Structure 1
Amino acid sequence: MTIEARLSELGIAIPAPAAPVAAYVPTVEVNGLLHISGQLPFREDGSFQKGHLGKDVSLEEGQEAAKRCAIMLIAQIKAALGGDLERVERIVKLGAFISSTSDFTDQPKVANGASELMLAVFGDAGRHARSAVGVPVLPLGAAVEIDAIVAVRPA
């Protein structure tokens, strides 16, 4: 089954990739590794998930925010690879940053929202190393931000 077919089966529509909000590029490919800048959680309706886990964002809402970041990562991958998601060899690493209170300790559970999606979409190639870090604030007040390193096949 192709990656596009898996996305369709999962009911996931890949949006247009988000434009950078500062002086950086969304992706850089070096020696077969695609480095993807941190992506923020835009809901399917285009609204933005703000807040802090442990205060005004529930664990389930945080997991959904992480999933939305992962969908935006896939959008960036697709754009960088000229639309050909079959060039993805492996999701190598995700870096998950979770805006949370000092006593919130379920960052790994939040990050699972992204990790589980990568596995569902890319199969075994979606298994990856990961960091899940709690931070006091993220750009634009985001609840979650996730970056990635992806191994890609030559065009």
Structure 2
Amino acid sequence: MSKIESKLIELGIKLPEVPKPVANYIPAKRTNNLIYIAGQIPIQNGIVQKGKLGKDITLNESKNATKLCAIGCLAAIKTICPLDKVTSIVAVHGLVNSTSENTEQADAMNGASDFIVEVFGEIGKHTRTAVGVSVPHNIAASVYMIVEIED
């Protein structure tokens, strides 16, 4: 068993099946040593987490949503290569469903960022964007990533 998969088991995380795209895109694409992961949504036990930060859901619920998105990103990476081949989490970008008055998007994205660093350690430290938007279908968040892998 890989080091990263062992860490996920230790954390009680089981990677989900990658949802089939609902439009004309793919969940992840490799170019050279980079994998670009399409925006993943927060799904837990088959249920999509919905709600708007500052209206329907709390900051902690939004943090959990971005963490679930990051878990989905790892599942998408695994469709291309084993997780132990990741040499760097280059970037994590998050779209946080929030009211126009809310200013906690960066705090919400800590759910994804903290999880990634907990799983990958030093190579998990990344650049990041956290943007408050109205996510389609009232989905709580969408997170996409860029990772570097070894040959």
Fold match, TM over 0.5?
A: yes
Deviation string 1:101-125 (CA, Å, 9 cap, x unpaired) is 1110010110000001100111111
Mapped to 1, the partners of 2:60 and 2:22 lie a distance apart of 27
1:139 counterpart residue number: 136
Measured after TM superposition, the shift of residue 21 of structure 1 is: 1.2
SS in 2 for 1:96: strand
In the alignment, structure 2 segments of 5+ residues that lack a partner are none
1:77 counterpart residue number: 77
Q: Tell me whether 1:151 sits opposite 2:148 in the alignment.
A: yes
After TM superposition, the structure 1 = structure 2 runs for residues 25-40 of structure 1, keeping only pairs within 5 Å, are 25-40=26-41
Question: How many equivalent residue pairs?
Answer: 150
1:9 counterpart residue number: 10
Aligned-partner residue type, residue 78 of structure 1? K
Q: 1:120 aligns with which of 118, 123, 126?
A: 118
TM-score (ref. length: structure 1): 0.94
Measured after TM superposition, the shift of residue 139 of structure 1 is: 2.6
Measured after TM superposition, the shift of residue 17 of structure 1 is: 1.1
Show structure 1 runs of 4+ deviating over 2 A: none
Give aligned-pair identity as a percent: 43
SS in 2 for 1:16: coil
TM-score (ref. length: structure 2): 0.96
Measured after TM superposition, the shift of residue 79 of structure 1 is: 1.1
2:55 counterpart residue number: 55
Aligned-partner residue type, residue 37 of structure 1? A
SS in 1 for 2:48: coil
